[in-house]
């Protein structure tokens, strides 16, 4: 059985600010009902009542979840089935010759992509990277069984973007 993880990654945050921001995001997740504080000292939080509308009605066992914003290795990727970013506007895959610049992002500037089909231009992290990769920190990691994780993550992406002014990107990890 494959393991699914939802990743919501903060972009454009300077390294010196990342840990403080992770703590701020965890506070915000708890205050907004997305998470409830872990019972154990260093464990991840669990999903809170705000996530209840994403529970799968067909799930028979008790749902379980973990959610935490943390500073990790800066690469957040889809792992298996990883592909290039897709156009935010028309959902075409970005051309191979452009994707080779993704690796530059690890140690340099974020590449700008142009969609070969519709001409939309955007920074890599503003394209649809759900099955691709982004570089940034901190990131929110969500593991949830008995929830519609993809729909939940998309809602959380919208809400966290409304509360923190930096850019955010969503990646669905599967391994």
**Binding-site ranges for Zn ion (CB under 5 A):** 87, 89-90, 92, 115, 117-118, 120
Residue 109 Cβ vs Zn ion, minimum distance, rounded to whole Å? 22
Query: Among residues 6 and 98, whose Cβ is nearest to Zn ion?
Result: 98
Taking CA atoms, 169 is separated from 23, 42, 54, 130, in Å, by 19, 26, 20, 8
How many CB atoms lie under 10 A from the CB of residue 71? 17
Segments of the chain assigned E as strands: 4-10, 35-36, 46-47, 64-70, 75-77, 112-114, 121-123, 133-135, 139-145, 168-174
C-beta of 90 vs 106, nearer to Zn ion = 90
Closest CB to Zn ion among residues 74, 92: 92
Number of residues assigned to the chain: 175
State the nearest-atom distance from the C-beta of 84 to Zn ion, in Å.
13
Nearest distance from residue 169's CB to Zn ion, in Å?
Answer: 17
As measured in angstroms, the least distance from the Cβ of 85 to Zn ion is 11
């Amino acid at each position: 059985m494959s393991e699914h993880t939802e990743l919501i990654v903060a972009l454009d945050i300077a390294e010196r600010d990342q840990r403080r921001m992770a703590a701020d995001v965890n506070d915000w997740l708890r205050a907004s009902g997305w998470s409830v504080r872990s019972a154990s000292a260093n464990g991840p939080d669990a999903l809170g009542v705000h996530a209840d509308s994403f529970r799968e009605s067909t799930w028979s066992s008790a749902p379980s979840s973990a959610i935490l914003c943390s500073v990790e290795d800066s690469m957040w990727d889809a792992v298996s089935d990883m592909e290039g970013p897709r156009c935010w506007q028309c959902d075409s895959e970005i051309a191979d010759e452009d994707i080779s610049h993704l690796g530059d992002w690890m140690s340099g500037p974020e590449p700008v992509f142009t969609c070969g089909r519709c001409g939309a231009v955007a920074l890599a992290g503003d394209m649809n990277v759900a099955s691709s990769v982004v570089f940034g920190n901190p990131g929110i990691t969500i593991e949830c069984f008995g929830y519609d994780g993809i729909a939940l993550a998309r809602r959380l992406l919208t809400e966290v973007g409304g509360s923190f002014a930096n850019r955010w990107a969503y990646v669905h990890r599967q391994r």
